[in-house]
Amino acid sequence: MIGVSGFSQAEAETLKVVQDTIAKQLSIEVTTVAPETKFADLGADSLDTVEIMMALEEQFSVSIGEGGAENIQTVQEAADLIEKVKNAAAT
């Protein structure tokens, strides 16, 4: 399945971990963190988003890089980016 951003969508397991991590970082219920939900709609500002991406890097033992997370706005986009970085690291 090809996502809107042009690469395969994240595996369900990756998405679940991303959702759990975001909920924990923002101290919100994980049920409010749907794939299409924008970080801004969860009350996250740009600093929160940076902290979320740092937590995801740690969670998945990957490095997204400075510019990698700039355009991430939704939960699904974050999961897709993690998946892309994980796959790139595996090759």
Stated pTM of the model: 0.84
7 within some domain: no
pLDDT at 7 over 50: no
Candidates 20, 45, 48, 80; catalytic one:
45
Reply yes or no on whether 80 is catalytic: no
pLDDT digits (tens, 9 = 90+) for 52-69: 999 999 999 999 876 777
Q: Per the structure, how many domains does the chain have?
A: 1
Work out the mean pLDDT of the chain and round it to a whole number.
87
Contact between 66 and 89 under an 8 Å Cβ cutoff? The reply is no
Residue at 59 is within a domain: yes
Bridge partners, residue 74, by sequence: 38
The CATH number of whichever domain residue 35 belongs to comes to 1.10.1200.10
* 74, 35 Cβ separation under 8 angstroms: yes
Helix (H), strand (E) at residue 82: helix 75-90
Residue 66 lies in a domain: yes
Domain that holds residue 50: 12-90
